[in-house]
Amino acid sequence: MRKKTRQIHVGNVAIGGDAPIAVQSMTTTYTRDVASTVAQIHRLEEVGCELVRVAVPEMEDAVVLSEIKRQIHIPLIADIHYNPLLALEAIKQGIDKVRINPGNLLQGRKSLEQIVLAAKERDVAMRIGVNSGSIDAIDKVAQMQRVQVRLRDDGTLERSDPAEARRKERDHLAERMVTKALEYISWCEELDYHNLDVSLKSSTVLTAVEAYRRFSERSDYPLHLGITEAGTLVAGSVKSALGMGLLLADGIGDTLRVSLSAEPEEEIPVAYEILRSLELRNRGVTFVSCPSCGRVEIDVVGVANEVEKRLTKVQTPIQVAVMGCVVNGPGESRDADVGLAGGKGKGVIFRKGEPVRTVPEDQFLDAVLKEVASLLPEHEAR
Ligand code: SF4
């Protein structure tokens, strides 16, 4: 069961409480390049991104935010490090949310308070992002002492079991992250500001999971899930699915970003796949396709990938199956809204469990897409 968090609003998107778990991403363009940034955000919107974050490293990036916001349709989040003046300008520009790590703001608490007061005045939300990287550095010496060796009374050295030492290390780091986050929250609350959510990111999946679990036991602020520097398409998707999956299955998490070293548009289908698999969102196409084997009679991999690519913009919940032969094909295809069961050089198209026609291999793609389109509302079928 999903853990009940308080609800905040970022523009017109609710986060926390009983709101759907929101999917977000971050642009890779230079924010000051308004045309490229807006074009990328439009591509993200098309595939289902519900909130978008942009990096604001310099004042040139901050001063164009109102122009970007004017041209997009989803809430805009400014990602700020170090310089509170950038956050103040971004808030003035009318952004919906600011993401900061109070641990790296130039004047620490004083800067955070300046930002909080400005955000409060304009009803702008804030993400407090605690990153294990910044805590790691502070704690390096303590780590070395704790993890490696202990001095026995007789003067000999006792070496820790490496696995146990790693677990202790993770717990220690997770606890430090949570303590920091709660401290930053208390600074905001002293100014009567509560419009915030929190992230506790680490590139080590188990550290992040531990930190989020601990935080969620002690606070009801909504949580933004993410595994930082998750990696390339394969590594990042697996790490994100695993880390976020463990948390989401425990009912933890109110919004998420899958971060990949890839085009941001590629993050969104991965995020929805995670949420669909856990039955937390049912937007878009659920694909069932067989891995193919020595019995295969059609190019199942080619057809499945092409079908998936062509249907990334579909929002209506629909299940599509592409199966390679007669062993499992008809069964799985029958269960889907639209299915293809391959046979020798031809395939049977199923619609809502019923075989509707047999088509030759060169028409598979068109036939599946046509059946899918017939089940979609008019604006999506185009
Ligand atoms: Fe192999 Fe047929 Fe199963 Fe596909 S559906 S994996 S081709 S047995």
Among left, alpha and beta (phi > 0; psi -120 to 50; other), residue 223 is beta
Lowest mean pLDDT among 5-9, 58-62, 279-283: 279-283
Q: What's the token pair of residue 364? A: 């598979």
Q: Are strands 346-351 and 354-360 parallel, antiparallel or unpaired?
A: antiparallel
Residue 248 has pLDDT above 60, yes or no: yes
- Residue 113's Cα: distance from chain center in Å? 28
Distance (Å) of CA 379 to CA 48, 320, 373: 15, 19, 10
For residue 104, give every residue at least 6 positions away whose Cβ sits within 8 Å of its Cβ, in sequence order, or none: 81, 82, 134
pLDDT band, residue 366 (cuts 50/70/90): very high
User: Residues at the annotated binding site?
Assistant: 290, 293, 325, 332
CA 189/CA 175 separation, integer angstroms: 21
* Distance in Å, CA 45 to ligand 1 centroid: 36
Return the residue whose CA atom lies nearest to atom 1 of ligand 1: 293
pLDDT value of position 128? 96
Q: Is the pLDDT of residue 121 over 60?
A: yes
Contact (Cβ atoms closer than 8 angstroms) between residue 364 and residue 303? yes
Q: Is the CB of 291 under 6 A from ligand 1?
A: yes
145 band by pLDDT with thresholds 50, 70 and 90 = low
ipTM of the predicted assembly exceeds 0.90:
yes
Residues paired with 100 in a beta bridge: 80, 128
Kindly give the distance from the C-alpha atom of residue 74 to the centroid of ligand 1, in angstroms, as a whole number.
42
Q: What is the DSSP letter of 351?
A: E
What's the pLDDT at 154?
83
For ligand 1, the distance from its centroid to the CA atom of residue 328, given in whole angstroms, is 6
17-75 pLDDT per residue, tens? 999 999 999 999 999 999 999 999 999 999 999 999 999 999 999 999 999 999 999 99
Order of strands, sheet of 354-360, starting from the edge strand that comes earlier in the sequence: 285-289, 318-323, 338-343, 346-351, 354-360
In short, whether 206's Cβ falls inside 6 Å of ligand 1 is: no
Whether residue 142 is predicted with pLDDT greater than 60 in this model: the reply is: no
Q: Which residues are annotated as a binding site for [4Fe-4S] cluster?
A: 290, 293, 325, 332
Phi (first) and psi of residue 285, to 5 degrees: -90, 130
**How would you label 18-29 residue by residue, b for 16+ Cβ within 10 Å and e otherwise?**
ebbbbbbbbbeb
- Across 275-293, average pLDDT: 91
Nearest atom in ligand 1 to the alpha carbon of residue 290 is 4
Q: How far apart are CA 327 and CA 209, in angstroms?
A: 40
**In b/e form, how buried is each residue of 37-58, taking b as 16+ CB within 10 angstroms?**
bbebbebbbebbbbbbbbbbbe
Domains and CATH numbers, the chain: 8-277 (3.20.20.20), 286-381 (3.30.413.10)
Looking at ligand 1, which atom is closest to the CA of residue 328? 5
Counting ligand 1 atoms within 8 A of each CB, the residue from 287, 289, 295 with the most, and so the one to mutate, is: 295
Q: What sign does the CA torsion over 159, 162, 164, 165 have? A: positive
The encoded tokens of residue 375 equal 């089940």
What's the pLDDT at 140?
58
Out of 287, 292, 300, mutate this one to test ligand 1's pocket (max ligand atoms within 8 Å of CB): namely 292
pLDDT exceeds cutoff 90 at 204: no
Cα 348 to middle of ligand 1, angstroms:
15
Give me 240's structure tokens. Answer: 């994100």
The CA distance from 101 to 76, in Å, is 18
The pick from 287, 296, 298 for probing ligand 1's pocket by mutation, whose C-beta has the most ligand atoms within 8 angstroms, reads 296
Q: How high is the pLDDT of residue 324?
A: 86
> Among 322, 330, 323, 321, which residue's Cα sits nearest to residue 295?
323
CB of 112 sitting under 6 A from ligand 1: no
Q: pLDDT (tens digit, 9 = 90+) per residue, 73-106?
A: 999 999 999 999 999 999 999 999 999 999 888 8
C-beta atoms surrounding 167 within 10 Å: 13
- DSSP notation for 206-247: HHHHHHHHHHHHH--S-BEE--TT--SHHHHHHHHHHHHHHH
Neighbours of 157 (CB within 10 A): 9
Distance 31 CA to ligand 1 centre (A): 47
Section 360-372 average pLDDT: 92
Q: How far apart are CA 202 and CA 169, in angstroms?
A: 13
